Amino acid sequence: MRILLIGYGKMGKTIEQIALQKGHELAGIIDIQNRDSLKEYNHTNTDVAIEFTHPESAPENIKYCLQHGIPVVSGSTGWMQHFEEIKDLCRQNNGSFFYASNYSVGVNLFFHFNEYIATKMQAYEGFHVEIKEVHHTQKVDKPSGTAITTAEGLLNNYPAKNKWVSDAAAPGPQELNIISERYADVVGLHTVKYTSEHDTIELTHNAHSRIGFAEGAVMAAEWLPGKKGIYGMKDLLNL
């Protein structure tokens, strides 16, 4: 399979390693230095694109792929204000778009368990709930896309909270606070914590390396070609 890598940071390099190990071919690599070279790629020379870039460039990269018949797998975060526009464009072009804020199989099981726990915990008013995420200092967006997905899953199943807020000093009673911290060499740590006067319940996912994310992205890239529409990890993992 001919894979176009859009974004060649730490994740892009890890995805390249996994893709080559699995016998795939790189159609090309697009990074900030050769951004204009994207116009050289289309459905005739590329089977699928894997896009991991910055919030400022991700929407335009995805639009280009959809407009030129390239199925696109994106893991860029921080651009969700454009998501409905991308979905509309995908439908207009009969395209193939796969998005996840996190491609780790373990994280997506974490999302699944988070939603289940929220349905149970909503019955117990004595607990206060919050989310904490920790990442490396090079991560641009805050809170992380994974933390936002976690928050949205909780809010859908926990009526006592109706919105998430970021690093609030004194969140309101109906606000779900996401606490973000940045330290060197932290791949990704996410915790949902329920605290009462007497005890604490925590659900945590701690990523030890980027390999799990890269493997999931390549798995999605293998799965997407030939399908039309908008997909995510729940579709890939049958969750």
Active site residues: 135, 139
* DSSP E strands, the chain: 2-6, 25-30, 48-51, 72-74, 96-99, 128-135, 163-166, 175-182, 188-195, 200-207, 229-231
Q: What type of residue is 46?
A: T
Q: Are 211 and 197 in contact (CB under 8 A)?
A: no
Residue stretches of the annotated binding site: 31, 75-77, 100-103, 136, 145-146
Q: Which residues contact 110 (CB under 8 A, 6 or more apart)?
A: 150, 190, 203, 205
What's the CA gap between 5 and 230, in Å, rounded? Answer: 20
SS3 58: helix
Residue stretches of the annotated binding site for (S)-2,3,4,5-tetrahydrodipicolinate: 136, 145-146
